Amino acid sequence: MKIISDPQEMQTAAQELRRAGKSIGFVPTMGFLHAGHLSLMNIAREKADVVVVSIFVNPAQFGPNEDFATYPRDFERDEQLCRDAGVDLLFYPAPAAMYLPDHSVWIDEEKLSGGLCGAARPGHFRGVCTVVAKLMNIVLPDCMVMGEKDAQQLRIIRRMVRDLNFPVEIISGATVRAADGLALSSRNRYLSAKERAEAVCLSRALNRAQALVESGEYRVSQLEAVIWAEIEKTSGSIDYIEFVDDETLEPVDVVEKPVLAALAVCFSGARLIDHTVLKSIQFSGTAGAD
């Protein structure tokens, strides 16, 4: 595995691979890797000749009071995990190499980014879109593999790729969970033992909403009440519980088309997100007949 820190060197290496007829599968990360990241690398390996992973804690997507300075970092551990996963190239740039002192161009998505995490973290998705666009221009991938856990981010990046005509296939990988159902996240390490035990409330609440839909309850008001009740049993503070159209991310009142049920819950140590996609049996037959 080769480690590259200079963006120009990475781009040159990618150009040489493309000229040699090699396809590139890319997994962008912020490091402190876990089994979820490794699952994305496995998908990239299946889809492409060469696997490139980036590790870059992107300052542009952190707000002034967020955890950029304390975000977990362990490059030696991450490097070994990438080697063990069969990664070919590890791109590990410094912030100064990615953002020049007079950097002045940004990418804003204006439709899908206003709600959910976008409402709670102003400017976050501007930073995400900008860095992902830069990484795609540097790595020149044929496909990029992203986790489904960050549901809004995945949909925004798909829209950016579509609207800006990036020649990159976006492939999603399923959320990887701990045995008790908690979605894996680098920020889980911030949780105390008590909070870690309580944090399973996110997936448990979403599962209960899913069960209600499967039993024929399609009113969002009732589904939201169940989620609130589950999370309020813990010390977690609800940032948001939202039910939105899975494609447009517009709020809905009834589960007809696929609905993204998304939530963010803050514990003293971490802000956690999770989601599920709800599909009603009642309306699926009608949709299929159109």
Q: What is the pLDDT along the chain (290 residues), one digit of tens a residue?
A: 999 999 999 999 999 999 999 999 999 999 999 999 999 999 999 999 999 999 999 999 999 989 999 999 999 999 999 999 999 999 999 999 999 999 999 999 999 999 999 998 999 999 999 999 999 999 999 999 999 999 999 999 999 999 999 999 999 999 999 999 999 999 999 999 999 999 999 999 999 999 999 999 999 999 999 999 999 999 999 999 999 999 999 999 999 999 999 999 999 979 999 999 999 776 554 433 33
**Structural domains in the chain?**
2-173 (3.40.50.620), 186-289 (3.30.1300.10)
pTM equals: 0.94
* Active-site residue, 103 included: no
Determine phi and psi for 118, rounding to 5 degrees.
Answer: -65, -35
Encoded tokens for 227: 């989620």
The 3-class SS string of 185-201 reads CHHHHHCCHHHHHHCCH
Catalytic residue among 37, 103, 124, 275: 37
- CA 196/CA 201 separation, integer angstroms: 10
Q: Which residues contact 64 (CB under 8 A, 6 or more apart)?
A: none
Alpha-carbon distance values, 42 to 47, 60, 91, 145, 198 (Å): 9, 28, 17, 10, 31
The secondary structure of residue 179, as a DSSP letter, is: T
Residues 6+ apart with CB under 8 A from 32: 71, 72, 73, 74, 78, 186, 189
Kindly write down the DSSP assignment for every residue of 115-155, as one continuous string: STHHHHSTTHHHHHHHHHHHHHHHH--SEEEEESSSHHHHH
